[in-house]
Structure 1
Amino acid sequence: MVNPEQLTALAGTAGTTIVSLMATEAWQRTRDGVTAIWRRVHPERVDSVAGELDLTREQVLAARNDGDAQTEEELGTEWRGRVRRLLVDDPGIAQELRGLLDELSPARTENGSTYNVHMTAEAKGNGRIYQAGRDQHIKES
């Protein structure tokens, strides 16, 4: 069973990944994978979701062309919400979604093998958070 915090984290990763891949060569595979997952939960919405993905891609490409990072972030927020609601409707798709994300955006080591990094942090007060999936160098004065 996946708890609500895990669903929210997964939705966040998925929404961000979906939108960031819209402007890459992995776009068609991303679109196919997302619509396949949607089909399992809401088959009646697949055509609508496919159209929304296509429209969002056009908006991402335009935003990148214009140097408009805020629009791309807003689109990511929209997709994070959509994916979270999908996961709430059927938490059983979490594993399939993780598999799609692993397939679409694997982190590669220098020798070509893959690894996954999941980080969660919360700072309070004057706390600082430094996270890295690999090397990190911080110099403070």
Structure 2
Amino acid sequence: MDPIALAAGTALVGAMANDAWQGARSAMTELWRRMRPEQADAVDAELAETRAQVLSAREVGERETEQALTADWQLRLQALLRAHPEVADELRNLLDTRLAPLLSAEEQSAVGSLVMKAEASGSGRVYQAGRDQHITER
């Protein structure tokens, strides 16, 4: 699955539990309105329904329900990206500017994606890490 779809679906469902969620909902609905206008109203209603389910699940501690809702939105976003690959940058921007800021620090760390590329030539070395890195050379 596309890492953007995974991260955006996770962040979307996580952001639903936040009071400032309405802006993210509007942005997601607008994205759908441009890419699949015939589905936009249904997606908007489904976002509201999913939010109610997320809030209910969190209230009673049903982590599995929230995970299932996250998987559902990840699949929807994957299908949107498959049909409209040109929307990837916009979805990444939506993730970074509208969804991720609504999440707690713990939720943000679960959403992040990391892509590292490096090239060394000659006697060059490359050290990369997604978190802590300790290098001891003698």
Q: Name the TM-score, length of structure 2 as normaliser.
A: 0.73
Q: Which runs of 5+ in 2 are unaligned?
A: 103-111, 116-128, 134-138
Match of 1:118 among 108, 113, 131: 113
- Report runs of 4+ in structure 1 exceeding 2 Å deviation: 117-120, 132-136
Aligned to 2:63: 69
Aligned length: 111
Aligned to 1:87: 81
Match of 1:97 among 91, 101, 112: 91
Q: Which has the higher contact order (CA 8 A, sep 6+)?
A: 2
Q: Which amino acid aligns with 2:24?
A: T
Which structure 2 residues correspond to residues 1-141 of structure 1 after superposition, within 5 A?
A: 8-104=2-98, 105-106=100-101, 118-119=113-114
Identical-pair percentage: 45
Deviation at 1:29, TM superposition (A): 1.0
Deviation at 1:47, TM superposition (A): 0.4
Deviation at 1:106, TM superposition (A): 4.4
The alignment's C-alpha RMSD in Å is: 2.4
- Cα distance in 2, alignment partners of residues 23 and 69 from structure 1: 13
Q: Name the TM-score, length of structure 1 as normaliser.
A: 0.71
Q: Which runs of 5+ in 1 are unaligned?
A: 108-116, 121-131, 137-141
Q: Which amino acid aligns with 1:118?
A: S
Secondary structure of 1:101 counterpart: helix
- Cα distance in 2, alignment partners of residues 135 and 24 from structure 1: 30
Greater helix content: 2
The structure with the largest alpha-carbon Rg is 2
